[in-house]
Amino acid sequence: SGLAKTTMAKSVLDAGWSTLKTLLSYKCESAGGIFLEVDERYTTQTCSCCGSLSPNSPKGRAGLGIREWTCECGVTHNRDSNAGRNILALGHKRLEVGIPFQKAG
């Protein structure tokens, strides 16, 4: 945690995420599960009900303090729950396309 407060903070935090992804991938493989990475861009801003990118949704760093917003379709979203639903939907969409079969061993 001390290194995260220095000028090398970005590199240290990136290495931490990389290690976490490697461990998750390994654990999923050993348990017979599937580990997928999805692009999380715009997941807090896209409505999980209608799929639109509403002008009412929080934008950029200035919008980080906005925790709830209402879409044009009338649904009120909690920013974190909405992002979670969108990321789950992206993962399911990726699974529908299929994962290439890899022969064990």
Rounded Cα distance, 95 and 70, in Å: 30
Position of tokens 């090398």? 8
The answer on 84 and 95 residing in a single domain is: yes
The answer on 92 and 61 residing in a single domain is: yes
For position 105, what pLDDT does the model report? 46
Q: In this structure, is residue 67 part of a structural domain?
A: yes
Q: In this structure, is residue 105 part of a structural domain?
A: no
The answer on 55 and 10 residing in a single domain is: no
The answer on 92 and 44 residing in a single domain is: yes
The answer on 28 and 47 residing in a single domain is: no
pTM of the predicted model over 0.85: no
The answer on 15 and 48 residing in a single domain is: no
Residues of the chain with pLDDT under 70: 1-5, 8, 12-13, 97-105
The answer on 93 and 44 residing in a single domain is: yes
